[in-house]
Chains A and B, each alone.
Chain A
Amino acid sequence: MQRILDIALNDLRIIFKDRSIWINLVILPIVISVAVGYANGAGFTGGSVSLRVDVFDADAGAMSAQFLDAMRAGNANLVLCPMDQTAADLCQLGEEALTAELAQTRLEDKVSLATLEIPAGFGAALARGEAVSLIYRSNEDATAPSYILQAVQSAATRLSGAQIAVQVGGQVADSLSFLQFSDDADRVAFLEEIRGRAEEGWAADLITVETVQAALDPAATQTNGGGGFAQSIPGIASMYVMFTVLPAASAFILERKNWTLQRLATLPISRAQILGGKLLARFVMGMIQYAVLFGFGALALGVTFGSQPLTMLPVMIAYTACVTALALALTTFITTDMQAQGITLFMSLTLAPLGGAWWPLEIVPEWMRVIGHISPIAWAMDAYREIIFYGGGIGDVIVPIAVLLAATAALFAIGVARFRFSK
């Protein structure tokens, strides 16, 4: 073990002798992850989500306005378009008027998350105590809890509750002999008072609405659509782990050329110790790379990595081990430094975007997502996103970790079987 550590430390010393390592280890990955973070939407949503809902209010009465207010009260992140349009184009409508066709396109493009149609005569029907239906359309996953639908339902409950109170109150008042209305207007005013009181009562009791807001994960709020730094930090870090670890192939070729690898083979140490030491050095480089970027993300960008960030450590270890084994396996298929540099660059630049290092795989077509999983980055990103966006724990990332470790074992076996100390 001592020999393995000595070899690893010697390699690290050699790696860090070259000052330019800091450019690749710190400066470039930070610059790129910040840039990619912005490209993925960081800074635009600014820490809170806009849940855009396109509304067609055919009633345009006091009652429908009340209904929309109740919805807004139900979820502070709701933006009802076009009513809530701002100068900053919060509705992303520009100068356009909202039509049924446009709403459909917006829904498909996920500009809006839902549409709501309030029929004409909504207020009148309610006043008569008749049932009315609203039409709610969304492209959300039917199995996932919808924050918008909850707001709509709570508004509906609230308004119909108030209406019931008005009707019941009216009937009760009519049957009470001592309550005499001077005229019809007087009666309407009385009923309106009941409605107001009832609404206040409902409002004070809007527990469901409070729950909706409490259930919103702060990390999820911050990164609507899975963008921003919480995507770019693990993505770019994983890509840069490749950039730092795969040059092991070059280093092996160089050591063979310098004959130091052959000299090591004549020393009273086993080949397992030599390979172990050299791979350990590269593995450590990969983990340093992760530490640099996640540290920067947490401290400088204020990214929060889910509710159990320590769960990311086994993912980092499994992924870095996998890339280290990949480097060893690649080494056995090449003979020159040029080939080594070429294959390193090629591997990193195909496996990174394929595996979702640059953008979340959620936005690519299904078949690309499947193909993407030949990249170890895809499995690592699955795990990071589970932890960061959905508050996953170790139980939720067992599969990607197991896949990465299995690939590590396979690549390592290939590498060890084919590795030669001399040309």
Chain B
Amino acid sequence: MQETLVQVRGLSKQFKRDNGETFFAVKDVTLEIRRGEIFSLLGPNGAGKTTTISMISGLLTPTQGDALIGGNSITKNPLAAKKMLGVVPQDIALYPTLSARQNLEFFGKMHGLGGKTLNQAVDEVLDLIDLGDREKDKVDNFSGGMKRRVNIGIGMLHKPQLIYMDEPTVGIDPQNRRRILDTVLRLRDELKMTVLYTSHLMEEVQEISDRVGIIDHGQMIALGTVGELIQKVGEEDRLILKVGEQPVAEPLLRRIESEVATATRAQYERREIANGDSGALAAAEGILTVYATRGRRALPDIIRLANETGVDILSVEVREPDLEAVFLHLTGRALRD
């Protein structure tokens, strides 16, 4: 049994909206992070991920609840708790007019590093984030990806046992994203750090996480290993069939459910695609979704039934069970909405 490093108990945060009414951005969140694991919080924008991280890093005071970090309460003994932490905020938190090295040095000093130790730590991090040759340039002139890397570098400068990374891949090109994900894996595998990772992208969470908490509207709606979560939706594949502008009538859905042996559910959804600038209706896209165990085998039957009712299938996609499906299953909404 692994040691528990972070213990979050009944954490809540209430905010005021502009119109004055209050609401819970985070409500009664309880979770544990074990030493040496990558724990991810997965949830759509506005789910409460950043608010949660802010509370357990000492930036925001919880409305209710507390978090113990290595046994130290973040509300009662913040300095001891924060000593164990490295934080990579979602926003790029850098002094734009200072160079990469100056930024690293300043925040290193704030962690109590100095002299040779500081120099060495800064050199190592610059190496790790691959910016050794640009260390003297001011970060204002860096690309988004480079700034993100400096932002991450500051969080791991003092080699904390625990690092929080709040959506570190947001707004980043695929190449830089890959690099960041590899860095996260190295932090766990080579440096034996514990990582709390947040994202609204299920692919990356599914790839790197040991355990995942799914959060929506401020509440934890599921928690477990990727495998455990996927089991919640069963072994069903999800078949996504695009049918364009053709209407799909209810009888076809019922026939698929009854006549295709492995199919359990069929749904039709029609989306209108507005033309970007004018807002005028450009096209409509119909999507037929069928849940079925061993979905590829069910495909020929589904296509045959569609043809019989005069519906042309334009494209087919078979999705094996994933966290997206879990989220859909639990909330009835897609993660990216």
Q: Residues on A close to B: CB < 8 A?
A: 3, 6-7, 10, 13-14, 17-18, 258-260, 262-270, 421-422
Contacts and interface: CB of A to CB of B under 8 A. Distances in A.
B98 A14 contact: yes
A178 to B, nearest CB: 103
A14 B60 CA distance: 27
A258 B95 CA distance: 7
- Chain B interface helix/strand/loop/mixed: loop
Contacts of A3: 109-110
A260 B91 CA distance: 9
Nearest to B106: A10
B262 interface: no
Contact of B93 (A6, A7, A258): A258
Interface string B71-112: 000000001001101010101111111100010001101111
Given A6-B110, A268-B83, A268-B111, A421 B59 contact: yes
20 contacts: A6-B106, A6-B109, A14-B97, A17-B97, A18-B97, A258-B91, A258-B92, A258-B95, A258-B96, A259-B93, A260-B94, A262-B91, A262-B93, A263-B89, A265-B58, A266-B87, A267-B82, A268-B82, A269-B110, A422-B60
B59 A262 contact: yes
A-B interface, 8 closest residue pairs, ranked by CB to CB distance from nearest: A259-B93, A259-B91, A263-B93, A268-B82, A266-B57, A266-B87, A268-B83, A267-B110
A213 B280 CA distance: 93
- Chain A interface helix/strand/loop/mixed: helix
B206 interface: no
A422 B59 contact: yes
Contacts of B85: 266, 268
Nearest to B138: A17
A266 B95 contact: no
Given A259-B92, A269-B79, A422-B59, 8 more contacts: A3-B109, A3-B110, A6-B109, A14-B95, A263-B93, A266-B82, A268-B111, A421-B59
Interface of B: 54, 57-60, 79, 82-83, 85, 87, 89, 91-98, 102, 106-107, 109-112, 154
Contacts, number: 67
A265 B85 CA distance: 12
Nearest to B90: A259
Contacts of B91: 258-259, 262
A398 B172 CA distance: 60
A280 to B, nearest CB: 15
Contacts of B83: 268
B41 to A, nearest CB: 17
Contacts of A14: 95, 97-98
Nearest to A7: B110
B16 to A, nearest CB: 12
B79 A259 contact: no
Contact of A13 (B82, B92, B96, B98): B98
A422 B54 CA distance: 10
A260 B98 contact: no
